[in-house]
Amino acid sequence: MLADDNKNAKMQKYISQYTSYLEIEKCLSSTTIKIYRNDIVEFQRYLGDKKPIEGTTRDRIRGFLVFLTRKHNQPITRRRKLTTLRSFFEYLTNEKKIRENPTKTIALPRVAIKEPSYFTEREIKKIITQIRKDKTRFKERNLTIFKVLAETGLRIGEMVGLDIKDLDFKNKTMRVKRKGNYIQRIPIPNSLAKDLREFTKNKGFNNPVFISSFKSRITQRRVSMLLQVYIKKAGESQEGKTIHSIRHGFCSRLLDKGVNLKTIQILAGHRSIATTERYLHIAKERLRQGIEMAQI
């Protein structure tokens, strides 16, 4: 029993060291770190207390993937969990805790790439129109929230994380804490800058831009709920549409209007141009026009 406790304590130590590494050296967000930790703990439970982490084999990793399949984990979920384990064991290998990474030669589950669900410009305008009809005292707040999302392409977490001190009205830019905890300054469209200046007038420099009815920073969940309310009022289909669909609409709209992929990548805060290329499917007509222009 004592030996099992020692194995468990060692595993907990490894997990703690690894999550500190993710936070300090990889600069990952607390949400991402929590997901990584949960994936590793799930694998630990699968192994059981009697099997030390140092003795993990490829067969045990494959067994874990079978276990996840039987639990009806989708391919994308199994892929993420294997990616987590690959990173964790790579860390243990580099730290000389184990000899080799047992996940190294195991192929990631294949995942079908889905085209992003997005709001068209027409749909966004209909939602904005519904917000303008709002009779509540939060009309201006809600209108500004959705204009920021639609006109800057911010992720919802980036938007709710904005403080008034992040807004530079002189240069018409905003300071955004991006996914991965890096800071980026992006331009604010002229009309939106005017709206934000008016909305934040006479508010404390260190205060959040968007406040809830509880006088605290508005939550992502609350904004998502508001979107569903306005979608319904606008008479639009809610199928497959989430708050992130506004961001997809932003990227798609820019691409359709001829903005180059590199510019969209920078504005959207994509680390990889491959992420931005997902929106190429939406510009089929523009691609057709391009290939026609190549005729001799």
Instruction: Give the domain ranges of the chain.
Output: 2-94, 121-292
pTM value surpassing 0.85:
no
Per-residue model confidence as pLDDT tens digits over 147-199: 999 999 999 999 999 999 999 999 999 999 988 778 999 999 999 999 999 99
Q: What pLDDT, on a 0 to 100 scale, did the predictor assign at position 175?
A: 96
Q: How confident is the model at residue 2 (pLDDT cuts 50, 70, 90)?
A: very low
pLDDT, mean over the chain: 87
Interhelix angle 261-268/244-256, nearest 10 degrees:
160
Q: How confident is the model at residue 96 (pLDDT cuts 50, 70, 90)?
A: very high
Is 2-94 a domain of CATH 3.40.50?
Answer: no
Q: What pLDDT, on a 0 to 100 scale, did the predictor assign at position 10?
A: 82
Determine the Cα–Cα distance for residues 190 and 116; give it in Å rounded to an integer.
Answer: 28
Protein fold of 121-292: hpI Integrase; Chain A (1.10.443)
Give the N- to C-terminal CA distance of the chain in Å, as an integer: 80
pLDDT above 70: percentage of residues in the chain = 90
pLDDT at residue 1 greater than cutoff 50: no
